[in-house]
Chains A and B, each alone.
Chain A
Amino acid sequence: MNNEKKRILVVDDEPSITRLLKLNLEQTGDYEVATENISKAALATAEDFRPDLILLDVMMPDLDGGDLAGKFQASPTTKNVPIVFLTAAITREEVRARGGLVGGLPFLAKPVNLHEVLACLERRLGAPGAPAAANR
């Protein structure tokens, strides 16, 4: 069943957040999660891990999430991988008012609970167990 698991890359400079997201998501049995706390290293990690989806923090030191998203989209390996921003820089109300999209990209506003994260992943990747929508 392992090969049916969806692969998620979580990029956030806070280790406690990436650690807990990994624990929570992997516990569902539906996801395999890699984490990266250093934004500059995230592209290499993604090219290596080949995720089905990237959960991406926005405000990070050195390289922020917006710029990093540009790099993902520029890389042949990751250009089609869907990105969901996970950020503290926007309110839940704003996200909701904009239909979960800011600048055309989907957003989750921190703090977000597991239920909402899972719902978002399902929306983007389809129900667990279904073939990945994204390019492998």
Chain B
Amino acid sequence: MPTTVSYKESKRAEQAVQESEQRYKRLLASVTDYVYSVTVNHGRPVGTAHGPGCQAVTGYTSSDFDADPFLWYRMIYSEDRPAVTAQAEQVLKGETPPPLEHRIVHKDGRLRWIRNTPVPHKDDQGGLNAYDGLVSDITERKRAEQFLAVQYLVTRELGEASSLDEALRRILESICSTFRCFLWDVAAFWSLDAQANVLHCRRTWRAPAVPAEEFEAVSRSFTLACGVSLPGEVWAAGEPVWIPDMLALPSKCPRAPYARKAGLHGACAFPIRDGEAFAGVIELFSQQIQPLDSDMMRVLMTVGAQIGQFLERKKAEERHRLGETRLQAILDNSPAVIHLKDTQGRYILINRRFEQLFQVSRERVAGKSPHDVFPQETAAVLRNDDQKVLATLTPLEFEETLPVDGRLHTYISVKFPLLDADGVPYALCGISTDITERKRVELALRQSRERLALVIQGSSDGVWDWDVTTNEVYFSTRWKNMLGYADEEVDHHFSAWERLLHPDDRERALAHIQAYLSGQTSTYELEHRLRHKDGSYRWILSRGVALRDTAGKPVRMAGSHVDLTERKQAEEQLQRAYAELSQNEAALKAALQKLQTANEELQATQLQLIQAAKLESVGTLAAGVAHEVKNPLQTILMGVDYLANNLSGGNSNTTQVLNDMRDAVTRANVIVRELLQLSAATDFAPREEDLNALLESSLRLINSEIIASRITVARKLSADLPSVRLDRNKMEQVFINLFINALQAMSQGGVLTITTRRRRFGEDLKMRGPAFPFKPGELVVITEVQDTGEGIHEDHLPRIFDPFFTTKPTGIGTGLGLSVVKKIIDLHGGAIDIRNAPLGGVVVSLMLRVESEKTP
């Protein structure tokens, strides 16, 4: 079976050859060095032999080199040829140059880095006859170096750049120029426009010698949707893409013709991720065909990740910056005073309001404590409050007093700790609101409410307060009593009033209210009839004011009721009488005259009635107050007396305190007395009196005070003064009040001048005007009380008769004295005038009517 054997043998041989070939190839693949020898004759190279291994490094065999004497030169990458030539010339000159690292183009088209180390050989005379070159493939080392260099450059650029745009300009260039050995000639960065959901080419770079201007310009003008062109593909795939030769592939890419024109073959693109999110693509193009290089791909992916991190960091910085700016903006526009302190009590930040109020800047206050900003006492209180918050770790509210423009303002401060993730406080925030004005308003409001309550309680007028929105009405007790009803007998509703309305007045009354509420009339004053519990109708004058909201819509209306029935009846009588009399023309004039007089008297009486009614209501109030106040005063006074007798040892402070308490009781009692006087004016008992004598007796009553005050009294009393009809006790009160005022105005001593004279009204220029209830020519007696004190501030004069208005220091005056005087003079149908004298001091003029001219 030789054939079989032969077949088997030949098979085995073939197999052996194959094995040997594979082993050789493996061996070749592991060879990275080879040696070439150059024969030199008379300084010129005459032959070159490439040693085994050249195929492994260059792809060409020895025979390839033998067949083509210039192959070695063409193999050298064109840019590096001058350096290689220069090295060779050095050797030929007999020198030994250092090894040269340069690029060659491998037979497979890829670039390789080699190190070429020449070793010259010399003959006996020292002439060069040959040299060997050791060629080592250093491509892997070079690649590794360049990958490192790229990563280093990218890291440095990203670290130094303030924006991605700035960084990218240099990064694209770095990638391309460092990888020039691999010939990336054009680079572009595409960023995602998240709103439009497209990619924009934000930046390109091109090696100077590459004619890709048009490709660059076109790229910059394009926007790419997901999946379109190379960047779009990377976006869609979320992974890098490597295309060894674009021109070898059919393409629908709109940029393809321009790439072709620029001679771009190899391409690669990789994504840039901002955290998880896709942020953009970097693409690289080469004029060479670029077989897939996984190592480089990895490096580029790392670069992509680095850029992504940079984006993430920049965004975080931006967010932080925006957050701070936003927070500061909010704080600065708050009317509250806001600050943040660390746990040591040092300011971290303050808002603009804080800066303005306390005249400090946030830069200067940072790191300082309240002790550097506020007075020590204030700072100690603030620090104490802060510590309470840090101790309890809960938000607390404090009322704090802080000095603003030299005045103390009251603040409500909410303070709360800021806790870290572990619940440990790292700062304290305080938000303070100025409530000084609110406090003042609250106090004023409370006072005015109390005053209102007193007025309603004491008023002889009925009071009503109508909530227009709900139709609920508050009717005062007096309102109801006026119509004969007890408190619980009238519903607090608008309909209660409507039900009491006289049918004939109903339409007019409702229209009147409507006209006022709608703004057609500016005041509300209505005379109408309301049914009394006894069935009769009472004439009521209703006056009121509406409270409106900002839109002018009435929300509330309040006012008073005055009973006009008696006046109305008088008027009706008058009219009836007038009607009767009008029949007799002759009697008419005389009757008219009488009626007029009667009418005037009626009006005067009515005024007095109203006055008396008012005084009566104050009186009721005062009597109540008197009882309620005097009993506690009694207790205090008895207590003081008891203590005075039982605190032996004669401590002068104790004695002083007890005396002060006695004085206080006396003062309180004086107020009560004056209130009573104000009200007691109703017991009016006038008689014909000698005014001069009354003045003298009044002066005697305060003789001791006059002496104590070192006051001289000057009397200019008229000798022919007619007697005046007056209530002796009340006028005595008037004079004493006026004298005491004068004495108090002259605390440093002075002259009290008292003048009386008789006049016809109108003769005295100072006593003209509508305020005086006299007819021209009427006989009057004028009393003037003048002091030499400082006078009264002109602004105070209009209010001088207001109850509780006083210009005296606290504790000296009650503010009731002149109110009492005015009431009493009014009761006498007289007039009073207070003015500053031209040469200083105050002149009080009283004018009383003389009814029958006889001297006392």
Which residues does A use to contact B, with CB under 8 Å?
14, 16-17, 20-21, 23-24, 27, 59, 88-89, 91-93, 97, 110-115
How many angstroms between the C-alpha atoms of A114 and B640 in the bound complex? 9
Chain A residues contacting B634 (CB-CB under 8 Å) are: 14, 17, 88, 110-112
Chain B residues contacting A97 (CB-CB under 8 Å) are: 729
Residue pair B673, A91 in contact (C-beta under 8 Å):
yes
Q: Which of B603-660 contact A (CB under 8 A)?
A: 623, 626-627, 629-631, 633-639, 641-642, 645-646
| Binding site secondary structure of chain A | helix
How many angstroms between the C-alpha atoms of A91 and B674 in the bound complex? 10
How many angstroms between the C-alpha atoms of A97 and B701 in the bound complex? 13
Given A24-B645, A110-B630, are A17 and B635 also a contact pair (CB < 8 Å)?
yes
Check: B665 CB closer than 8 A to any chain A CB.
yes
Residue pair B627, A20 in contact (C-beta under 8 Å):
no
How many angstroms between the C-alpha atoms of A89 and B679 in the bound complex? 13
Residue pair A14, B635 in contact (C-beta under 8 Å):
yes
How many angstroms between the C-alpha atoms of A24 and B640 in the bound complex? 10
Given A89-B623, A97-B729, are A21 and B673 also a contact pair (CB < 8 Å)?
no
Residue pair A21, B623 in contact (C-beta under 8 Å):
no
How many angstroms between the C-alpha atoms of A112 and B669 in the bound complex? 10
Chain A residues contacting B662 (CB-CB under 8 Å) are: 113
Listed residue (A20, A21, A27) with the most chain B CB atoms within 10 angstroms of its CB: A20
How many angstroms between the C-alpha atoms of A111 and B634 in the bound complex? 4
How many angstroms between the C-alpha atoms of A30 and B329 in the bound complex? 82
Closest 3 A-B residue pairs measured CB to CB? A88-B630, A20-B638, A114-B641
Chain A residues contacting B729 (CB-CB under 8 Å) are: 97
Given A23-B642, A113-B641, are A88 and B635 also a contact pair (CB < 8 Å)?
no
Given A17-B631, A97-B729, A111-B633, are A88 and B638 also a contact pair (CB < 8 Å)?
no
The closest CB in chain A to the CB of B640 belongs to: A113
Residue pair A91, B676 in contact (C-beta under 8 Å):
yes
Residue pair A112, B676 in contact (C-beta under 8 Å):
no
Residue pair A27, B626 in contact (C-beta under 8 Å):
no
Residue pair B642, A111 in contact (C-beta under 8 Å):
no
Q: Which of B268-288 contact A (CB under 8 A)?
A: none
The closest CB in chain A to the CB of B733 belongs to: A93
Residue pair B631, A14 in contact (C-beta under 8 Å):
yes
Residue pair A89, B626 in contact (C-beta under 8 Å):
yes
Residue pair B645, A27 in contact (C-beta under 8 Å):
yes
Listed residue (B623, B633, B637, B673) with the most chain A CB atoms within 10 angstroms of its CB: B637
Chain A residues contacting B665 (CB-CB under 8 Å) are: 111
Chain A residues contacting B645 (CB-CB under 8 Å) are: 24, 27, 114
Chain A residues contacting B641 (CB-CB under 8 Å) are: 20, 24, 113-115
Residue pair B673, A88 in contact (C-beta under 8 Å):
no
Sampled A-B contacts (18; CB under 8 Å): A16-B635, A20-B641, A21-B638, A24-B641, A24-B642, A27-B642, A88-B630, A88-B631, A89-B626, A91-B673, A110-B630, A110-B631, A110-B633, A110-B634, A111-B665, A113-B641, A113-B662, A114-B638
The closest CB in chain A to the CB of B627 belongs to: A88
Chain A residues contacting B635 (CB-CB under 8 Å) are: 14, 16-17, 20
Residue pair A111, B673 in contact (C-beta under 8 Å):
no
Of the residues A16, A27, A111, A114, contact of B630 by C-beta under 8 Å = A111
CB distance from B620 to the nearest CB of A (A): 13
CB distance from A115 to the nearest CB of B (A): 8
The closest CB in chain B to the CB of A23 belongs to: B642
Query: What is the number of contacts between chain A and chain B, taking CB atoms within 8 Å?
Result: 63
Residue pair B627, A59 in contact (C-beta under 8 Å):
yes
CB distance from A57 to the nearest CB of B (A): 9
Residue pair A20, B642 in contact (C-beta under 8 Å):
yes
Chain A residues contacting B672 (CB-CB under 8 Å) are: 91
How many angstroms between the C-alpha atoms of A124 and B67 in the bound complex? 164
Chain B residues contacting A21 (CB-CB under 8 Å) are: 638
How many angstroms between the C-alpha atoms of A16 and B631 in the bound complex? 9
How many angstroms between the C-alpha atoms of A16 and B637 in the bound complex? 11
Residue pair B637, A111 in contact (C-beta under 8 Å):
yes
CB distance from B59 to the nearest CB of A (A): 126
CB distance from A105 to the nearest CB of B (A): 19
CB distance from A54 to the nearest CB of B (A): 17
Residue pair B638, A89 in contact (C-beta under 8 Å):
no
How many angstroms between the C-alpha atoms of A93 and B677 in the bound complex? 10
The closest CB in chain B to the CB of A57 belongs to: B631
How many angstroms between the C-alpha atoms of A112 and B637 in the bound complex? 7
Residue pair B638, A17 in contact (C-beta under 8 Å):
yes
How many angstroms between the C-alpha atoms of A111 and B630 in the bound complex? 6
The closest CB in chain B to the CB of A27 belongs to: B645
Given A111-B665, A113-B641, are A92 and B673 also a contact pair (CB < 8 Å)?
yes
Chain A residues contacting B631 (CB-CB under 8 Å) are: 14, 17, 88, 110
CB distance from B639 to the nearest CB of A (A): 6
Residue pair A113, B642 in contact (C-beta under 8 Å):
no
How many angstroms between the C-alpha atoms of A59 and B665 in the bound complex? 21
Residue pair A113, B637 in contact (C-beta under 8 Å):
yes
Chain A residues contacting B646 (CB-CB under 8 Å) are: 27
The closest CB in chain A to the CB of B662 belongs to: A113
The closest CB in chain A to the CB of B638 belongs to: A20
How many angstroms between the C-alpha atoms of A61 and B299 in the bound complex? 106
Chain A residues contacting B636 (CB-CB under 8 Å) are: 111
Q: Which of B413-464 contact A (CB under 8 A)?
A: none
How many angstroms between the C-alpha atoms of A97 and B641 in the bound complex? 26
How many angstroms between the C-alpha atoms of A112 and B626 in the bound complex? 14
How many angstroms between the C-alpha atoms of A110 and B641 in the bound complex? 14
Residue pair A88, B626 in contact (C-beta under 8 Å):
yes
How many angstroms between the C-alpha atoms of A113 and B729 in the bound complex? 26
How many angstroms between the C-alpha atoms of A113 and B645 in the bound complex? 13
Chain B residues contacting A24 (CB-CB under 8 Å) are: 638, 641-642, 645
Chain B residues contacting A14 (CB-CB under 8 Å) are: 631, 634-635
Chain A residues contacting B627 (CB-CB under 8 Å) are: 59, 88-89
Using an 8 Å CB-CB cutoff, how does the interface string of B157-186 with A read, 1 for contact, 0 for none?
A: 000000000000000000000000000000
Listed residue (B630, B646, B673) with the most chain A CB atoms within 10 angstroms of its CB: B630
CB distance from B597 to the nearest CB of A (A): 38
Q: Which of B681-727 contact A (CB under 8 A)?
A: none
Of the residues B626, B638, B639, B673, contact of A93 by C-beta under 8 Å = B673
Chain A residues contacting B639 (CB-CB under 8 Å) are: 16, 20
How many angstroms between the C-alpha atoms of A115 and B645 in the bound complex? 12
Chain A residues contacting B638 (CB-CB under 8 Å) are: 17, 20-21, 24, 113-114
CB distance from A22 to the nearest CB of B (A): 10
Listed residue (A21, A93, A110, A113) with the most chain B CB atoms within 10 angstroms of its CB: A110
Chain A residues contacting B669 (CB-CB under 8 Å) are: 92, 111
CB distance from A53 to the nearest CB of B (A): 17
The closest CB in chain B to the CB of A88 belongs to: B630
CB distance from A8 to the nearest CB of B (A): 14
How many angstroms between the C-alpha atoms of A45 and B673 in the bound complex? 34
Chain B residues contacting A111 (CB-CB under 8 Å) are: 630, 633-634, 636-637, 665, 669
How many angstroms between the C-alpha atoms of A59 and B631 in the bound complex? 10
10 more A-B contacts (CB under 8 A) besides A20-B635, A24-B638, A89-B626? A14-B635, A24-B645, A88-B630, A88-B631, A110-B634, A111-B630, A112-B637, A113-B638, A113-B641, A114-B641
Chain B residues contacting A93 (CB-CB under 8 Å) are: 673
CB distance from A118 to the nearest CB of B (A): 10
Chain B residues contacting A88 (CB-CB under 8 Å) are: 626-627, 629-631, 634
Chain B residues contacting A23 (CB-CB under 8 Å) are: 642
How many angstroms between the C-alpha atoms of A114 and B638 in the bound complex? 7
CB distance from B732 to the nearest CB of A (A): 10
CB distance from B542 to the nearest CB of A (A): 36
Using an 8 Å CB-CB cutoff, how does the interface string of B484-498 with A read, 1 for contact, 0 for none?
A: 000000000000000
How many angstroms between the C-alpha atoms of A116 and B662 in the bound complex? 14
